[in-house]
Amino acid sequence: MRPGRLPVDEQVEALRAVLGRNEVLTDVLAGAAGLRLPGWYLTAGCVFQTVWNVVTGRPAAEGVLDYDLFYFDASDLSWEAEDAVIQAGRERFAGVPATVEIRNEARVHLWYEEKFGVPCPPHDSTEAAIDSFAATTCCVGIRSEPDGRWRVYAPHGLADVFNLVVRPNPVLAPRHVYETKTSRWRAQWPTLTVLPWP
């Protein structure tokens, strides 16, 4: 049975099995756990694109541009505090053959409008930041807990991820962000079903 048709609890197990085939991702996941960042998740393209690769029979890490590591620390919104975490991550991930992008999601509202042209209300958690991705299909975050369990945050479920369906999420990102991303993704994964912006 296709993973997108499994019961939800089995989809989570299928997700872990699929992501485990991307050794870069599992290395980043282990390194991220060691940083002990508050509310952290590995999220965005490294997660759903690994699934797309495995589902379409490609090498698991093919075309994954970077590995997004989100955390949430509202106690210090300075760039210096975030940069200290980024530098610690740079050391920890020095042996990983990929770019690991570390961002404090408590600070996103400070720079989002300048980069994307629309204001972003302050997030109150990493989960809230994941909720605001341009496509619901991207809204998946994972982390490994100290006891070895995986915590999976997927507010829109996992069926679309496994079924190669990209669904718009018009809550924050503007239409051009969605269309730029989906155009790039469709070039790499031509079998995607990309639903139009409403």
pLDDT in tens, 61-76: 999 999 999 999 999 9
Tell me the pTM: 0.93
131-149 per-position pLDDT tens digit: 999 999 999 999 998 888 8
Residue type, 66: D
Q: How sure is the predictor about 1, in pLDDT bands with cuts at 50, 70 and 90?
A: low
Q: Any idea which residue has 């790499």 for tokens?
A: 188
Tell me the percentage of the chain whose pLDDT exceeds 90: 87
What three-state secondary structure class fits 145?
coil
Residue type, 170: P
35-65 per-position pLDDT tens digit: 999 999 999 999 999 999 999 999 999 999 9
Continuous H helices in 3-58: 8-19, 23-35, 45-55
Domain tally, the chain: 1
Q: What is the pLDDT of residue 146?
A: 87
What three-state secondary structure class fits 166?
strand
For 188, the domain range is 3-194
103-117 per-position pLDDT tens digit: 999 999 999 999 988
